Amino acid sequence: MKKEKWLEMFQKIKNGALSPEDALNHIIKEPFEDLGYAKPDHHRALRQGAAEVIYGAGKTPEQIRGITDAIKKSGCETVLITRLAREAADYLSGFYDFKYDAVSRVGIAGPIPKPDGAGYIVVATGGTSDMPVAEEAALTAEALGNEVRRLYDVGVAGIHRLLGSMEILANARAVVAVAGMEGALGSVVGGLVSCPVIGVPTSVGYGASFNGLSALLTMLNSCASGVCVVNIDNGFGGGYLASMINHIK
């Protein structure tokens, strides 16, 4: 349940519209729900500002639906599902207002919320091949209530493409820099902007890129200040962190 709903409940107690006993019963049953195969965390939004996100890989369509139902019944209108297979997405679309992006394998059950962040987030990629990870970041941020601007294929091999978008970059609240190969995009962006930069290394590249390890090490060793790094191909982590930054007011 979102913080606003909790505040509404406490206001009802204050006004006498809800008894302390009924409120206590609601709180007791709220923390998590035991479905047998999963325990959805219904206090996640209260603690962290955003509801639990479902990692779809390895779960059956029926399990994903059960978890989605539980999260929605707890008061969350929009449920984000990452790494979702097409088969599961087709199944879920029969039960919800459902959107699925095959490129990023992201599913969203419910409406995309109106942006309520302090500004906008930029998601930039080194190349077009980084788009699956970048779209996971972008859709995650949008599902969490952010305006997202995409700058794709602006890698350092043609740095003028990046420099041509300086106005967009300069006014961002956070930039998610998604890149494989040597992963230099994070450092370059970090040296150009005053906002936090979140490096997302991808597994895109030839043999010596070691499935993203090269990009990861480059981003970790960035000489630009203000660059943090998430795991290889973790677009979700990059988009989530950018959302947290954009919601600091």
What residues does each domain of the chain span? Answer: 49-109, 120-246
For residue 200, pLDDT over 60 is answered with: yes
Looking at residue 27, its pLDDT comes to 60
Q: According to the model, what pLDDT value does residue 229 have?
A: 97
Comparing C-alpha atoms, which of 80, 138, 147 is closest to residue 111? 80
pLDDT digit string, tens, across residues 88-105: 999 999 988 899 999 999
Q: Cα(130)–Cα(203) distance, rounded to whole angstroms?
A: 9
76 pLDDT tier (thresholds 50, 70, 90): confident
Beta-sheet pairing, 98-101 with 79-82:
unpaired
Out of 3.40.50.1970, 1.10.3720.10, 3.30.1360.170, 3.30.1330.10, the CATH code matching 120-246 is 3.40.50.1970
Helix (H) or strand (E) holding 194: none
| pLDDT at site 39 | 77
Q: Indicate whether 1 pLDDT > 60.
A: no
First to last CA, the chain: 21
